[in-house]
């Protein structure tokens, strides 16, 4: 399968499937990108990341188990 065919197949998919394919490609790139030894040695403290607490003010996230269950039902039927 050549690159042009892959691109044609991707463009023929519905938008949601294209987003999933892009997410999968991003995951593969992360998995198969070799980190330099310098990057491996530097660990980030989780409290210093921007992600920790980013949804702390959302009432719908108060119980993550319920939120996950509702989201799965809505998305996966």
Q: What is the pLDDT of residues 6-56, one digit of tens each?
A: 999 999 999 999 999 999 998 888 888 865 445 555 666 776 777 777 777
Res 42: pLDDT: 63
Mean pLDDT score, 60-68: 84
The domain locations on the chain are 1-35
Res 39: pLDDT: 57
DSSP per residue, 3-14:
HHHHHHHHHHS-
Res 37: pLDDT: 47
Burial class (CB in 10 A: 0-12, 13-18, 19+), 21: middle
Q: pLDDT at residue 73 above 70?
A: yes
Predicted TM-score (pTM) of the model is 0.42
């Amino acid at each position: 399968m050549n690159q042009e065919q892959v691109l044609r197949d991707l463009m023929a998919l519905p938008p949601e499937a294209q987003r999933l394919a892009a997410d999968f490609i991003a995951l593969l790139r992360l998995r198969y990108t070799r980190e330099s030894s310098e990057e491996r040695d530097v660990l980030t403290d989780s409290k210093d990341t921007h992600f920790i607490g980013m949804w702390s003010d959302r009432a719908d996230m108060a119980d993550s188990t319920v939120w996950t269950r509702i989201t799965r039902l809505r998305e996966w039927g």
